[in-house]
Chain A
Amino acid sequence: MSSESSKKRKPKVIRSDGAPAEGKRNRSDPEQEGKYYSEEAEVDLRDPGRDYELYKYTCQELQRLMAEIQDLKSRGGKDAAVEIEDRRILSCVHFMTLKKLNRLAHIRLKKGRDQTHEAKQKVDAYHLQLQNLLYEVMHLQKEITKCLEFKSKHEEIDLVSVEEFYQEAPPDISKAEITMGDPHQQTLARLDWELEQRKRLAEQYRESLSNKEKILKEIEVKKEYLSSLQPRLNSIMQASLPVQEYLFMPFDQAHKQYETARHLPPPLYVLFVQATAYGQACDKTLSVAIEGSVDEAKALFKPHEESQDDESDSDAEEEQTTKRRRPTLGVQLDDKRKEMLKRHPLSVMLDLKCKDDSVLHLTFYYLMNLNIMTVKARVTTATELITPISAGDLLSPDSVLSCLYPGDHGKKTPNPANQYQFDKVGILTLRDYVLDLGHPYLWVQKLGGLHFPKEQPQPTVIADHSLSSSHMETTMKLLKTRVQSRLALHKQFASLEHGIVPVTSDCHYLFPAKVVSRLVKWVTIAHEDYVELHFTKDIVEAGLAGDTNLYYMALVERGTAKLQAAVVLNPGYSSIPPIFQLCLNWKGEKTNSNDDNIRAMESEVNVCYKELCGPRPGHQLLTNQLQRLCVLLDVYLETEIHDDSVEGPKEFPQEKMCLRLFRGPSRMKPFKYNHPQGFFSHR
């Protein structure tokens, strides 16, 4: 600021402050202060108001002078120049006044600024001081509040209440006189008391711990003693076994069975109870046993969370370890399937003894996830059986119990809910797994008390025996007849394969003494082969040739005549008769579609089977039917009318005694044998 004003100033005026080197006249004598012309000092003396007036007056004068000059110049006269000069000088003076005033104004401004500046600085300093002090005050206040808020640990301890304290604490701790008045002392006293109490309680705790240890040790000792008793008891029980057997009271065995039975799943348990009851009450040849691992059965009942955790853990581990070779989708599906088809580890075994000492062993399983029961069957005979080729399927475990009740083929699961479960794991039908798992027959479910709704709506209400005891009886009887009929067939097949029709002595009356036609061949054929034969169409269309039946082909011969017989053996033999379809090759091929007599022969064997059943239980039906077939062939061939146009004698001379050869519009041959007269007549 000072350098600015020095620049504007004319060189005439020397300023005392600022740079003395700048001024033209360099008189920097600080001692001669009073001699210098100081405009600053002048500023203080002069009145700004008056200066302002002076300024205004000067401006006016200038203006006036300018106007006069103007006038004079425009008028133009000789005197004008002098006048103008005068006026010019005057205006210069005025100008200098103005300049001075300007300077003064600047100096005043500068002074004013300086003063303001100083005052500001002071104010700032005070302000800072104030801030500092305020800050300190705040800090101190915070410290004070902190101190005030300080909670000592002693306040967290749950002390007993004051009244209790005064009641319980001994006087040397409570010091009532001091503490009553002084809260600080009171708290201290209370803390003291607290400490005392705690020490005492710690003592007690240690004592009780040591007591407990002692008692535990005693218990251990006693337990050992008890466990040492157990083997002794067992040995006593063992020793008593011979006594039990001697007295025919197998309590021990039964008891063990009941013990294991407790772990059976409900359907198997029902079966076990019913079978044991039935065995004891009605049928001494039935024996019941439980097989399988009881531990595994117990393991099934572990809590689910554990098993789930284990699963997830093991899954995680599996993933980590087999990261390179993950189990394929097929393997995973396989595992799921196995899981679904899992069996309960326990199974019930029933042994049915038949009259001829052959035994039917039935093992019943329970599939847990599917909630159905299955059975596996096995037949053992008293003597070793040589199985003829055609009898392969008779006693096979897969088919021996097929269709015990009509339609109960055991290849499909009886529980309709299983279909949804199968869809999830891609099992089409249970048929693929029955060999492994056993057959889920309907009667098995009934014996176990499992009742499933039937798939097809029943047209009439069938009065089912809901009492499982009578159901048990029927089933057991059916099982026995089934085994016996199969064994009988077994024996008969052995004989049939050698070409001999085994007719028992009490069935001889059904046939004439002399039978010339012979059974030459007896073989099994497959279901598909049977269906493809041209003379079996009617049976197939009538729905009598299902895939649960067994099929055989017999060949009867006499001379040049060959009679083929296709046999359908229903699993329900012998209550359901075998069905024969015939095809005769003699002078052309004759079947039931082109020869009424062949039809009549079939009718004799199929429809009139009841007289061929023989004595109960009717196991001779098949062999009697075969024998009758031979007789019928004899009659057919011998009663054929001789064709006069053909030369030569009859191939088969008539040896049978017949009243009439033909009868009725269809010219039937006399197929009915009359005993004891021994002649043939028509039905």
Chain B
Amino acid sequence: MERAVPPTVPLGQMEVFQALQRLHMTIFSQCFSPCGKFLAAGNNYGQIAIFRYPGLCSPTPIGSAHDGPVYSMVSTDRHLFSAGDGEVKAWLWAEILKKGCKELWCRQPPYRTSLEVPEINALLLVPKENSLILAGGDCQLHTMDLETGTFTRALRGHTDYIHCLALRDRNPEVLSGGEDGTVRLWDLRMAKEVQTIEVYKHEECSRPHNGRWIGCLATDSDWMVCGGGPALTLWHLRSSTPTTIFPMWAPQKHVTFYQDLILSAGQGPCVNQWQLSGELKAQVPGSSPGLLSLSLNQQPAAPECKVLTAAGNSCRVDVFTNLGYRAFSLSF
């Protein structure tokens, strides 16, 4: 079967380079603005692009926001925090669309190693304390107070770098999943590790050929769902037992609770929707060959912009207005 070859536009050196960059772009993180009308996305070249939703115009890029890839982003009412290679930067949402926007501040948590600057893989906002938790390559969780900007705690325990964080609301606990295959619970007030779940040791969910790393975490107070090297599993936290195993062979990189469903995405172009019973409700294909992040626009300020966006191993952000199909894609 012959594939339709698109006509080639005369390409000079610059165009070829840009095309290659776009082909090899990975979008690691996304974040919606507090007003719900803008989406910020960070990629592996350290660029952050602000997309206006629902407009389809080209994004406003903040060129060299970071030196390295932008691995995670979170947003408060007024600020956008982005983190990548070892430092976290803050931006004002009000100013972010203006030309030549510069970050408000830039902080680096105190690292132990000096040979290589560890990356920051996950950011978590703790609204009760008004603090920001960073976790990443140095296997520690750092807490930064947002008012003073100082780093208050450093929680150690993981033996390999941390992939993801989740916040348990009721008792202020933080869950972290890491490359070492464990999910650890930390109590913030006591600054101590409370519980450790070694996922790979449970036979039902472990998949040794994929590895033991925990790539994604989501929690709903009593329940936790995690996945990565081992299969995507729903755990009951108090008893630390796996209750449901989701039959997905591809490692999942992002998981989140949504209404009564669990949405997950990972290797493979689809966003998977699971019932809590473990059944696959729907698999909605996107445009990237692999997805790294999902983002739900649940801002109360813009109920009409309630969408799900997915991004990963391409320069495109897929927008799902109705969870059943991909509406359109925004492109870097």
B163 proximal to A (CB < 8 A): yes
B16:A663 contact, CB within 8 angstroms: no
B18 to chain A: closest CB distance in Å?
A: 10
B6:A665 contact, CB within 8 angstroms: no
Stretch at the interface among B7-15, B96-104, B302-310: B7-15
A527 to chain B: closest CB distance in Å?
A: 9
Stretch at the interface among A159-167, A210-218, A594-602: A594-602
Please report which residues of chain B, range 104-158, place their CB below 8 angstroms from some CB of chain A when the two chains form the complex.
115-116, 119, 121, 137
Chain A residues with CB under 8 A of B292: 665-666
A547 to chain B: closest CB distance in Å?
A: 8
A599:B20 contact, CB within 8 angstroms: no
B89 proximal to A (CB < 8 A): no
A124 proximal to B (CB < 8 A): no
Please report which residues of chain B, range 17-37, place their CB below 8 angstroms from some CB of chain A when the two chains form the complex.
17, 19-24, 26, 28
B51 proximal to A (CB < 8 A): no
Please report which residues of chain B, range 280-319, place their CB below 8 angstroms from some CB of chain A when the two chains form the complex.
289-290, 292, 313
Stretch at the interface among A184-192, A500-508, A640-648: A640-648
Task: Specify the chain A residue showing the minimal Cβ separation from B267.
Answer: A594
Distance, CA A659 to CA B179, complexed state (A): 15
The prevalent SS among residues of B at the interface is loop
Distance, CA A579 to CA B19, complexed state (A): 11
Chain A residues with CB under 8 A of B24: 599, 602-603, 606-607
B71 proximal to A (CB < 8 A): yes
Distance, CA A545 to CA B8, complexed state (A): 8
Distance, CA A592 to CA B163, complexed state (A): 22
A658 to chain B: closest CB distance in Å?
A: 10
Chain B residues with CB under 8 A of A662: 161, 179, 213
Chain A residues with CB under 8 A of B137: 660, 663
Task: Specify the chain A residue showing the minimal Cβ separation from B211.
Answer: A641
Pick from A545, A575, A599: contact of B5, CB under 8 Å:
A545
Bitwise, A657-672 to B at CB < 8 A (1) or not (0) is 0011011111100000
Task: Specify the chain A residue showing the minimal Cβ separation from B137.
Answer: A663
Distance, CA A540 to CA B19, complexed state (A): 12
Chain A residues with CB under 8 A of B289: 592-594
Distance, CA A576 to CA B292, complexed state (A): 31
B208:A572 contact, CB within 8 angstroms: no
A531 proximal to B (CB < 8 A): yes
B213 to chain A: closest CB distance in Å?
A: 7
A577:B16 contact, CB within 8 angstroms: yes
B170 proximal to A (CB < 8 A): no
B227 proximal to A (CB < 8 A): no
Chain A residues with CB under 8 A of B68: 683
- A594-B289, A606-B24, A662-B161 are known contacts. Are A541 and B6 too (CB-CB below 8 A)? yes
Distance, CA A406 to CA B8, complexed state (A): 11
Please report which residues of chain A, range 589-638, place their CB below 8 angstroms from some CB of chain B when the two chains form the complex.
592-594, 596, 599, 602-603, 606-607
Distance, CA A403 to CA B26, complexed state (A): 31
Chain B residues with CB under 8 A of A327: none
Chain A residues with CB under 8 A of B69: 664
- A596-B290, A664-B119, A665-B71 are known contacts. Are A579 and B20 too (CB-CB below 8 A)? yes
Residue from A665, A681, A683 whose CB has the most chain B CB atoms within 10 Å: A665
A543 proximal to B (CB < 8 A): yes
Chain B residues with CB under 8 A of A682: 116
Task: Specify the chain B residue showing the minimal Cβ separation from A408.
Answer: B10
B215 proximal to A (CB < 8 A): yes
B8:A543 contact, CB within 8 angstroms: yes
Distance, CA A248 to CA B63, complexed state (A): 60
Distance, CA A438 to CA B96, complexed state (A): 56
Bitwise, B60-102 to A at CB < 8 A (1) or not (0) is 0000000011010000000000000000000000000000000
Beyond the given pairs A664-B121, A665-B164, A665-B292, 9 more chain A to chain B contacts, judged by CB atoms under 8 angstroms and listed by A's residue number, are A406-B13, A542-B19, A542-B22, A577-B17, A594-B289, A599-B313, A603-B24, A606-B20, A664-B119
Bitwise, A536-552 to B at CB < 8 A (1) or not (0) is 01111111111010000
27 contacts between A and B (CB under 8 A): A406-B15, A407-B9, A531-B3, A540-B3, A540-B5, A541-B6, A542-B22, A543-B6, A543-B8, A543-B9, A543-B11, A543-B19, A544-B8, A544-B11, A544-B19, A576-B13, A592-B289, A593-B289, A594-B290, A599-B24, A599-B313, A606-B23, A645-B208, A660-B116, A664-B28, A665-B215, A666-B253
